[in-house]
Every structure is written in C-alpha cells, then in structure tokens.
A and B are shown apart, each in its own frame.
Chain A
Amino acid sequence: GAVVSQHPSRVICKSGTSVKIECRSLDFQATTMFWYRQFPKKSLMLMATSNEGSKATYEQGVEKDKFLINHASLTLSTLTVTSAHPEDSSFYICSARGTSGGTGELFFGEGSRLTVL
C-alpha cells in the first residue's frame, strides 16, 4: 500500500528553538496533506490542511505563525514549530491523500514525537 514517511521520528529541543518535521509520500503524489497533533491517550486533532502550491488552511485555534506549513512539492510537506515551548511537546502525525482523492483514503505517517525542554 501507499507509504507516508515522517522525519524525524523523535526530536528533543530546547525552549525557544524551531523544529522542522517532514512528511513525504513515498510512492504516490499527494496534492493534499494533513497535520495532526495527538496528546497522550487522546485522539488525533486536525491542525491544518496542506495544499501543494498554496497556503495551508488552519483549523480554528491553531496558530499559523506558530506552526508553519509548507507544501512545496507533490511529495513533501513540512511542519515547522517555531519558538517551541514545553506546551508544544506532543506527537505530530501527518497524512496524505493521493491525487485520486476519494473518501477517507488517507495514508498516515509514523508520527514525530517532539519534546521541548
């Protein structure tokens, strides 16, 4: 099946630094990617929709200046957590929808665990 890869899988950083997480679709082109945040023992919370070649669309309550999203190609979207603080520590997951679209045909990455000290 389709594969979505995230990198890094784990990152630890100091408060105030910025961290970039990559999401790649390895064997298909993804016109749309999604970024989620997941707290321990909680479900996934959609943060934003990343569209290739256009600005990301953020869900209500998500700071676009805090979580910068870039979708420069059909196989890569990046999430940059700017000036990270301990409360940004979380598990970040991306998903990608192929160009064929369809209902619910999302493929998820393995997730990236961010720990901000």
Chain B
Amino acid sequence: GESVGLHLPTLSVQEGDNSIINCAYSNSASDYFIWYKQESGKGPQFIIDIRSNMDKRQGQRVTVLLNKTVKHLSLQIAATQPGDSAVYFCAEWALGGGADGLTFGKGTHLIIQP
C-alpha cells in the first residue's frame, strides 16, 4: 500500500489567500520529497523538492516544509491564483520505494474560489 497520504482530498480557498496542502509519510528512510501539480488531463508537473537534510525550502510563491519528527510534509502556496487550481501530489523517494523510487500520495484537489 501507499506510505504517503494526504489529509484532505479537496481544499477550497479564496483567490488571493494562502493555501496549505499537507502530506503524511511513513517511511523514515525517505530522503527526498517532491511536490507535483497536475492539471486536468495533463501529466504531473514538478513544483518543488526538498531533501531530508532540510526543513524548509522556498520557491516562487511556494514553500515546502518538512518535519521529519512527525513525518509530515506541507506545501504552502502564497496568494493563490486561478491557475493554481489543480491536484497536488506529494511523493517521497527512497531506495526500495519502487522501481522509480517514488511513492505518490493520493492527491489533494485545490479549488480556487473567485
């Protein structure tokens, strides 16, 4: 079964607000984490990644936080825009985590309300 899961299947936020998408993982051996964005009918798009020796990493409007103590990963999107509407997947990478090394979470559908 999957070792990475998301707390909420759907998250609805107002345009301009900040969004926080959460992810729990169970493999303490995972040493690399990635957030992907998938728009309807398209393949996953890399957003941001973080290695296990870090607890925070920032990109453009996005921040990923890693709490290894509680095996928790989050994606923060600042000032959400309509184009942010998508399904967001977290993925963890670990040796033995599959041929591609990745274990995907179930996904959170982010809906941006006008």
Contact = CB atoms under 8 A, between A and B. Distances in A.
A106 B102 contact: yes
Contacts, number: 59
Contacts of A97: 100
Interface stretch (A11-19, A64-72, A74-82, A109-117): A109-117
- Sort chain B's interface into a size bin: 20 to 34
A108 B43 contact: yes
A93 to B, nearest CB: 5
Interface string A42-73: 11101011000000010100000000000000
Contacts of B46: 1, 107-108
Interface string B60-99: 0000000000000000000000000000010101000011
A44 B104 contact: yes
Interface string A79-117: 000000000000101010100000110111111010000
Interface of A: 1, 4, 6, 34, 41-44, 46, 48-49, 57, 59, 91, 93, 95, 97, 103-104, 106-111, 113
Contacts of A95: 100
Given A103-B31, A107-B46, 6 more contacts: A44-B104, A46-B99, A103-B32, A103-B93, A103-B101, A104-B34
